[in-house]
Structure 1
Amino acid sequence: MKKILCPSMMCADYGNLKDEIIALDKAGIDIFHCDVMDGSFVPNMTMGIMDIKTIRKYTDKLVDAHLMIENPSTKIDLFIDAGVDLIYIHPEAERYVIKTLAYIKSKGVQAGIAINPDTSIETVHEMLNLVDYVMVMTVNPGFAGQPFIDFMRDKIKRLVELKKERDFKIIIDGAMSPEKIKEMSELGADGFILGTSSLFGKDVDYTTAITQLREM
Structure 2
Amino acid sequence: MTSTLIAPSMLACDFSRLRDEIKAVEGAGADWIHLDVMDGHFVPNITFGPNVIAAMRPHTDKVFDTHLMIAPCDPYLEAFAKAGSDVITVHAEAGPHLDRSLQAIRALGKKAAVSLNPGTPESVLEYVLDRLDLILVMSVNPGFGGQKFIPAVIDKVARIRDMIGDRPIDIEVDGGVTAETAPLVTAAGANVLVVGSAVFKGGSPENAQVYERHIKTIRATADAAHV
TM-score bracket, shorter-length normalisation:
over 0.9
Q: Is the 8 A contact 1:7 1:194 kept in 2?
A: yes
Q: CA RMSD in A?
A: 1.3
Q: Is the 8 A contact 1:10 1:47 kept in 2?
A: no
Cα shift at 1:108: 1.2
SS class of match (1:112): strand
CA distance in 2, matches of 1:69, 1:39: 8
Paired residue for 1:7? 8
What are the superposed Cα offsets for residues 15-50 of structure 1, whole Å, 9 maximum, x if unpaired? 221111111111221111111111111111112223
CA distance in 2, matches of 1:159, 1:24: 30
Q: Is the 8 A contact 1:163 1:169 kept in 2?
A: no
CA distance in 1, matches of 2:146, 2:211: 19
SS class of match (1:183): helix
CA distance in 1, matches of 2:214, 2:15: 20
Cα shift at 1:97: 1.1
The gaps in structure 1 that reach 5 residues or longer are none
Paired residue for 2:214? 209
After TM superposition, the structure 1 stretch with the greater mean CA deviation from structure 2, 146-155 or 173-182, is 146-155
TM-score in terms of structure 2 length: 0.90
Q: Is the 8 A contact 2:93 2:116 kept in 1?
A: no
Q: Is the 8 A contact 2:64 2:86 kept in 1?
A: yes
What are the superposed Cα offsets for residues 101-133 of structure 1, whole Å, 9 maximum, x if unpaired? 011112210010000011111122112221101
Paired residue for 1:192? 193
What pairs with 1:41-190 in structure 2 (closer than 5 Å)? 41-190=42-191
2:18 maps to a residue whose letter is: L
1:6 maps to a residue whose letter is: A
The gaps in structure 2 that reach 5 residues or longer are 204-208, 222-227
CA distance in 1, matches of 2:202, 2:133: 31
CA distance in 1, matches of 2:5, 2:81: 22
